[in-house]
């Protein structure tokens, strides 16, 4: 059975993410212990809230280099929502904040038609743009649940899927065995469970 470490850095809906992974058959303890994180088969970096608060939580627990080490080792890692955003170099939410710098790019506010509400909240389609094990048995145009006011301006080579909200933007990113999902798979019903199962079984 695959063992996941879900990183607890003081931000996020950790229990709902944990329950979602348990639903797809993974042992998924919450932990801030570097040794436990580094020993896991796969690692999850969840998060809701602000980019700056997420980075404060990471630094307060001494986990920045641990996350970088996980990626450098080639251990599969999945960032969810703010956990995806802090993988990038800079976040522009409530000022400018340095991220983990594992992926190039900035996390920027939506600058869109004022008729569209920010944050982007609700169901939207995800469109695969590259091959990925995350997309196994997932139909193109599947709907997922979003709740965010900022997006990751990733490079085209790291963009695995996009969504459209006043224009297309990266909503799933990846490089090697590192993945990030902007929407909430734990709230996205069968589509979200399929993505999480694919990460556990194929990622």
- So what's the pLDDT on residue 139? 85
Paired residues of 122 in beta bridges:
146
Q: Closest Cα partner for 102 from 75, 128, 132, 64?
A: 64
138: tokens are 């997932």
% of the chain residues with pLDDT over 90: 86
Beta strands 159-164 and 127-128: pairing type?
antiparallel
The CATH number of the domain holding residue 110 is: 3.40.50.880
pTM of this structure: 0.95
Query: Across all residues in the chain, what is the average pLDDT?
Result: 94
Assess contact for 98 and 106: CB atoms under 8 A. Answer: no
Q: Residue 178: is its pLDDT beyond 80?
A: yes
Instruction: Please give the tally of structural domains in the chain.
Output: 1
Q: Residue 186: is its pLDDT beyond 90?
A: yes
Q: Residue 2: is its pLDDT beyond 80?
A: no
Please give the order of strands across the beta sheet that includes 88-91.
97-98, 88-91, 103-109, 150-154
User: Residue 187 is part of which domain span?
Assistant: 4-202
Residue-wise pLDDT for 8-39, tens only, equals: 999 877 899 999 999 999 989 999 999 999 99
Residue-wise pLDDT for 107-151, tens only, equals: 999 987 778 899 999 999 999 999 999 999 998 789 999 999 999
How far apart are alpha carbons 130 and 110 in whole angstroms?
A: 23
Helix intervals (H) in the chain: 14-23, 34-39, 51-60, 64-73, 82-85, 189-202
Active-site annotation, residues: 81, 184, 186
């Amino acid at each position: 059975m695959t063992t996941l470490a879900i990183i607890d850095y003081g931000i996020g809906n950790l229990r709902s993410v944990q329950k979602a992974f348990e639903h797809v058959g993974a042992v998924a303890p919450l932990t801030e212990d570097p040794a436990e994180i580094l020993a896991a088969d796969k690692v999850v970096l969840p998060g809701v809230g602000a980019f700056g608060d997420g980075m404060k939580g990471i630094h307060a627990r001494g986990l920045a280099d641990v996350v970088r080490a996980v990626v450098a080792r080639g251990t599969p890692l999945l960032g969810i929502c703010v956990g995806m955003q802090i993988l990038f170099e800079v976040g522009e939410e409530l000022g400018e904040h340095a991220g983990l710098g594992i992926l190039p790019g900035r996390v920027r506010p939506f600058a869109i038609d004022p008729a569209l509400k920010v944050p982007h909240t609700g169901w939207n389609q995800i469109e695969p743009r590259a091959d990925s094990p995350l997309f196994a048995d997932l139909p193109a145009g599947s709907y997922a649940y979003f709740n965010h006011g900022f997006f990751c301006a990733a490079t085209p080579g790291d963009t695995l899927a996009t969504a459209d909200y006043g224009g297309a933007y990266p909503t799933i990113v990846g490089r090697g065995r590192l993945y990030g999902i902007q929407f909430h798979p734990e709230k996205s019903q069968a589509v979200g469970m399929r993505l999480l199962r694919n990460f556990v079984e194929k990622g």
